[in-house]
Structure 1
Amino acid sequence: MLSSLPASKYAAVRKVFDQCRHISASSATLSKSTLKKTVLHDFHVDNGGKMVEFAGYSMPVQYKGLGLVASHHHTREKASLFDVSHMLQVCIHGKDKVKFIESLVVGDIAELQDNSGTLSLFTNDSGGIMDDVIVNKTDPDMPLYIVSNAGCADKILNLYNDALSDFKSYDVSLEPIDNGLIALQGPLAVKALQKGVEQDLSRLYFMRGITTKIFGIPNCRVTRCGYTGEDGFEISTPRDSTVVLAEKILLDKDVELAGLGARDSLRLEAGLCLYGNDIDENTTPVEGSLVWCIGKRRRSQKDFRGSETILEQIKEKPKTRRIGIVTETAAARSGAKVLDSESAEIGRVTSGIPSPTLQKNIAMAYVAHPMSKIGSVHRVLVRKKMLGAKVTRMPFTPAKYYVSP
């Protein structure tokens, strides 16, 4: 598909993806000797992974034989396997586990069905987002299973431990999980995984989960979710079985390994935030267009951290808001200024790429709320040039989650 692009556009796309080694703007550059390694690190190297620093880990940005753009298209058309073992996985035990986690996140966890999950947000007392998180409610007598970002791991573990000191009289405990975690994403992901499980995956819908054997490996937690906008699964597996499971899945001819480069472009096309770029502790859920993460019951009870600020913004509108934009000629990078027709600054870009799927330049930005209306035309400053920028709906590409009928 890249061969059909004009030479100038091809060069622009390549330039963007060649910069994916800098994908984590919030992470300081670390020496190779201090980088942490996932359980799949040597497996990546053996399979031609180009390793870079991300969130304190040595992670593959791409693989030999399949470029970043080709990997992106492969995920959209077939299936790709991503290593996400660097993420923070914890289990929360005890009969007061739901009360405990609801003291930290904005979601309505109590109302989740068994073996289902939701995207939620840790917030601070000012309403800022400390991290985004997936909270999974497993079987009634089993713990909550929770996955959050690697770059925030120390901060969130401290948050958990501080909160536990306030729950000394409650039945609740925290267990960090040292499992491997892989994400199988794309329209053919279900075909590849179905070969290894006895359960009928056509009955496992988006954000639902099971604990099962996969290719004979016991105690695997499978959740139908991911961060690409495609159908797919995240699989938490015993650490010493992670390489074997990856090898078994890759026996399917339609599955390829994929790295951070494709993951970033896929999530941006899907309108999904990268913590530290698009949301942070100075961003509220309202400003980040993530109000849907706040449960209705939680809003009415006003019992989550930062609720006063957040609920006031819902009522009165925030000063700024996260939007999607399509830019002319070139992609706007993180930090690019968004300007109005009078060249006054009205916001900043947080993420931007030439979209491999749409062959357009897309970006996320924060702008003054009155300037955030869909269809509004602004300008962005890219390498000292003024480019047209039109506010558009997100996701940029339609979500293909496998939802219940």
Structure 2
Amino acid sequence: MSDLRETPLTGLHKALGAKMTGFAGYEMPLQYGLGVMGEHQHTRAAAGLFDVSHMGQVLIRHEAGYGGAAQAMERLVPVSLLGLGEKRQRYGFFTNEAGGIRDDLMLTNRGDHLLVVVNAACKADDIALMREGLPDCEVVEVTDRALIALQGPKAVDALAPIAAGCEIMKFLDTGIFTSDYGELWISRSGYTGEDGYEISVPEAQAEPLARALLLHEAVEPVGLGARDSLRLEAGLCLYGQDIDDGTTPVEAGLSWAIQKARRRGGEREGGFPGAEVILDQLENGVARCRVGLRPEGRAPMRAGTQIFGGETGGEAVGHVTSGAYGPSIEAPMSMGYVAASHASAGTTLYGEVRGKRQPVRVAEMPFTPANFKR
């Protein structure tokens, strides 16, 4: 793993005995002593600490302030940013001319500028896209801060003594907090379906902050293994696996992230890459869609499993994009794409596993109810 990049917390992961792996060009913790199952369950019951410093943090500034930056960014995303309140965060995605998703991201109204958090694997391409597509803006990659996620129902108990006032935040609220660990950029958000926070911290203070949080009895370190099972139980997409540049937001079930203002008849209709395709799909539907899948038995149906409409001789109707065992639901779970004609909850389909077709039922997502702070 000598060619992999390190995060400011790599030394801490190794000191804590993490099993390391490569992910998106970085050396990252796969699991710690509790193991994937234990880390998953601990996050659901208490609080898990995740290193997400591999992700990109980018500031977008415009001479007209936030309104100028938001208006400019709406040329690249089908999201209403002019309608986003100050200190609020919103999920969105870059699209291409065919309506496909180039990356999914989080966008924050910082009062006089825009903060964008992008996926690690797409970071370089996303920054290049913004620099080319936003010539009227200053696009600044943040390179001197780490990013930590603290997730679970007791996350607030661990963070409040460090960042006073974070306890009154609601889901997708953001703020800048003074602390013994420098200026913290905090959002009440995450990738687990649980209550929790994402914390941008000065790089030099990342390990001291992480160690301080780990001193709290509710907090345990969590690696990529449990991060994946937690997000899958929550019905959340992984870019490059469940969504990609050949998948539209409508096919992916992400239409809720396209506000009325950007749809047909809205005051800022279209104006983003692939608008013609996406707006047509919003009105007329799609041939395939992302669904939850619950296999019978105990064995998960993993990514790449083909899905058929009949046990013997049925035609192929889709495929699995993510699959794992769900510790919270004590059963296997998958998500994938199937023909819209076979996408109704409760429909029995068949996944081909080791040459045999096994029953799998279309299910509503999330598999585990969300526990956000409303």
Under TM normalisation by the shorter chain, which class is it? Answer: over 0.9
The equivalent residue for 1:163 is 133
**1: distance between equivalents of 2:318 and 2:368?**
23
**1: distance between equivalents of 2:73 and 2:12?**
35
| Counterpart selection for 1:239 from 188, 196, 203 | 203
The equivalent residue for 1:46 is 15
SS class of match (1:279): coil
**2: distance between equivalents of 1:98 and 1:111?**
9
SS class of match (2:182): strand
The equivalent residue for 1:148 is 118
Opposite residue 34 of structure 2, the aligned amino acid is L
Question: 2:328 matched to 1:357?
Answer: yes
The equivalent residue for 1:136 is 108
**2: distance between equivalents of 1:176 and 1:152?**
13
SS class of match (1:235): strand
Identity %: 41
| Counterpart selection for 1:212 from 167, 170, 177 | 177
Question: 2:44 matched to 1:76?
Answer: yes
The equivalent residue for 1:11 is none
Opposite residue 285 of structure 1, the aligned amino acid is P
The equivalent residue for 1:335 is 304
Moved over 2 A (4+): none
**2: distance between equivalents of 1:322 and 1:123?**
18
Structure 2 unmatched runs, 5+: none
Q: Deviations over 1:218-269 (max 9, x none)?
A: 2210000000000000000111111111011111011000000000000000
Structure 1 residue 305, shift from structure 2 partner: 1.4
Whether the aligned pair in 1 keeps the contact of 2:177 and 2:183 (CA below 8 Å) is yes
The equivalent residue for 2:283 is 315
**2: distance between equivalents of 1:202 and 1:249?**
15
| Counterpart selection for 2:139 from 169, 174, 179 | 174
**1: distance between equivalents of 2:191 and 2:354?**
30
The equivalent residue for 1:227 is 191
Q: Deviations over 1:147-174 (max 9, x none)?
A: 010011121112112113xx3xx3x201
**2: distance between equivalents of 1:262 and 1:248?**
22
| Counterpart selection for 1:193 from 131, 151, 159 | 159
Q: Deviations over 1:83-123 (max 9, x none)?
A: 00000110111222111211111111111110001110110
The equivalent residue for 1:260 is 224
1:285-324 correspondence runs (5 A):
285-299=249-263, 300=266, 301-324=269-292
Structure 1 residue 276, shift from structure 2 partner: 0.5
**1: distance between equivalents of 2:127 and 2:291?**
31
Q: Deviations over 1:270-298 (max 9, x none)?
A: 00000010000000000000001111101
Q: Deviations over 1:181-211 (max 9, x none)?
A: 0000000000000111222x34200000110
SS class of match (2:183): strand
| Counterpart selection for 1:273 from 224, 237, 240 | 237
SS class of match (1:310): helix
Whether the aligned pair in 1 keeps the contact of 2:160 and 2:167 (CA below 8 Å) is no
**1: distance between equivalents of 2:69 and 2:95?**
18
Q: Deviations over 1:309-359 (max 9, x none)?
A: 011111221111000010012210100000012421100000001111111
Structure 1 residue 378, shift from structure 2 partner: 0.6
Opposite residue 3 of structure 2, the aligned amino acid is T
The equivalent residue for 1:8 is none
SS class of match (1:211): strand
The equivalent residue for 2:24 is 55
**2: distance between equivalents of 1:375 and 1:343?**
18
SS class of match (2:178): strand
**2: distance between equivalents of 1:135 and 1:189?**
22
SS class of match (1:217): coil
**2: distance between equivalents of 1:213 and 1:33?**
36
**1: distance between equivalents of 2:203 and 2:60?**
19
The equivalent residue for 1:366 is 337
**1: distance between equivalents of 2:158 and 2:356?**
46
The equivalent residue for 1:183 is 149
Question: 2:367 matched to 1:402?
Answer: no
**2: distance between equivalents of 1:183 and 1:234?**
4
Question: 2:57 matched to 1:92?
Answer: no
**2: distance between equivalents of 1:51 and 1:354?**
21
Opposite residue 245 of structure 1, the aligned amino acid is L
**1: distance between equivalents of 2:335 and 2:288?**
13
**1: distance between equivalents of 2:50 and 2:316?**
38
SS class of match (1:218): coil
| Counterpart selection for 2:90 from 118, 130, 141 | 118
| Counterpart selection for 1:382 from 353, 363, 370 | 353
Whether the aligned pair in 1 keeps the contact of 2:319 and 2:338 (CA below 8 Å) is yes
